[in-house]
Every structure is written in C-alpha cells, then in structure tokens.
Amino acid sequence: MIRIQGLCAGYGDADVLGGIDLHIAPGEMVGLLGPNGAGKTTLLLAATGILAPRRGSVRLDGRDAAVLSARQRARLVAAVPQRADNAGELRVRALVLMGRYPYLRFLGGYDEDDETAARAAMEAVGVAHLAARRLGELSGGEFQRVLAARALAQDAKALILDEASAGLDIARKMELYGLLAARNAAGATIVAALHDVNLAALFCNRLIFMKNGNIAADGPVAAVFTSETLSRIYDTDILVVAHPRSGLPQALAVPGPVPARLSHGVPGAGDGLRHR
C-alpha cells in the first residue's frame, strides 16, 4: 500500500529523515513510535504527499505520490494531523463533509451518499450530537474526534494518524482504537503515530520505532516490544510485563533515584519506587 525508498526529507536547511526504506502492506495495522523529535510526523507528512522528499520516493498503491493530484492522493490516503487549525465558526458537519472532497463531481455539491458517509463517520466516533456545533465551541478532545470523523468519511484505502488520540481520555482512546481495529479488520490499512506505547501494543500487529530520523526497530509486537528495545529507544529503564487479561506486552517505566536536591525531608526519597 505504501512503499518508501531512500527517503530523505526535512525543513529549511536541515534533514530530519536520513534515508528511510519502508513498506506498509495492504491490510496492516502499524504503530509508529519513538521519542519526541524522532521524525515520525515528518515521515507521515512525506507518506501522504504533503511534504515533498528531497531524495527518494513514496509510492501509494503502486503509484508515485509525486505525480498524483491532491484528489487522487485523498482517495488513497486519509490523514488525521497532529495539529490542525480550529476554524472556530465552521460547523462540525461541514468539516466532516470536507472528507468527501475526493468524490465531488466537477462544480457539484455534496449528495446524499456524502451526507450518509458523514453521518456514519460522526456516529462512529461519537460526535453526531455535535453536528451543528461550531468548532470553536469544542474541547480539544472533541475537536480531535471530529478530525477523525472527517478522515473516516473520506473512505480511503489507508488511514494515517498522527497522535489522533492526543487529548482524549482513556475511554475515548480505547473507543477510537477499537474503531480503527474494526476498520483494519474490514480491509483498511492503518498507520498510527502515537506516544502511548501500551496502546500501540494492544491494538497494532506491527510496530515501527524511530530514533534520530531513522528506523531503529521494526517487526511484530512480540518481537520488538521488549525491555531492551524500549530502554534503548527511549534512553530510560523500561520493564515489559504481560497484560493480565490479553497477555500482550505492556511497558512500565522504572523510576530512578530522586535527586538529592528534591528529596530533602521526604521520607524514603532517593530510593526509587518502593513497593507497598
């Protein structure tokens, strides 16, 4: 579905990605992980054709992204950005309907199929009751779910999400990723960048870790979600244990000693985490 070869990309005079080779097969559900500044957002921007490569190539469904029109790319890949301008006076329904742009006929408006797709997307992410609300009246989490609804309404072959669950509470995160897993089971390709490594391990079948603009680990969850890999990627001690219900791996940060300047007068401080 997405094939990247020798990709170098960046901003201004600085390269962020240092020659990425990556293939996302149709029907995969991939978690893209790594510390801040690792290059995840840059990779996704290049994969969706928003950021032009300095070197290398991106192919979407076998076609060079550089020669596709915006409408053609939008039929192949729908994106939920990490940041988006909140056009305060625009209504929720109007923003979600924008996801139907790739299917509009020349000089035509939205038809009943578009309206149906938008309603279904809003219902799927739980924002149908906000359809008439102005975007400026939404909370950050509500706005993020509206962006997800717009991407779902787009009905593209692949969904690319950059911190789509940012600002959502734990229940809404589980709902969103449960919905993405259902879309994936129905055939959609999902690539999601996120900081919640445990959420990624619960829902994704492949994890790609980035660090310093390169791919540092890539493989099935059981193979790469290990204490050694996570500790190396994030430069801190991380313990991996099995989830008590699913058996899937989950990460636990291991706190170090509290610095002396902060521990003065605190009983037991400086000894790290103590079991109670």
Q: CA of 239: how far to CAs of 33, 202, 231, in Å? A: 17, 16, 8
Q: What is the pLDDT of residues 64-82, one digit of tens each?
A: 999 999 999 999 999 998 7
pTM of the prediction? 0.89
Q: What is the pLDDT of residues 23-32, one digit of tens each?
A: 999 999 999 9
Q: Residue 272's pLDDT is what?
A: 52
Identify whether 148 is part of a domain: yes
Q: Residue 276's pLDDT is what?
A: 38
Asked if the model's pLDDT at residue 58 lies above 90, the reply is yes
- Domains: count for the chain: 1
Q: Residue 30's pLDDT is what?
A: 98
11's enclosing H/E stretch is strand 2-11
CATH number assigned to the domain comprising residue 76: 3.40.50.300
Identify whether 112 is part of a domain: yes
The DSSP result for 206-217, as a single string, is EEEEEETTEEEE
Q: What is the pLDDT of residues 219-239, one digit of tens each?
A: 999 999 999 999 999 999 999
- Cα angle 89, 94, 96; round to 5: 120
Identify whether 243 is part of a domain: no
Identify whether 234 is part of a domain: no
Q: Residue 108's pLDDT is what?
A: 74
Strand duo 2-11 + 238-242: pairing: unpaired
Q: What is the pLDDT of the chain when averaged over all its residues?
A: 91
Identify whether 237 is part of a domain: no
Mean pLDDT of 96-123: 91
Task: Name the residue range of residue 156's domain.
Answer: 2-217
Identify whether 267 is part of a domain: no
Identify whether 167 is part of a domain: yes
Identify whether 86 is part of a domain: yes
Q: Residue 275's pLDDT is what?
A: 42
Burial class (CB in 10 A: 0-12, 13-18, 19+), 116: exposed
Cα separation of the two ends of the chain: 50
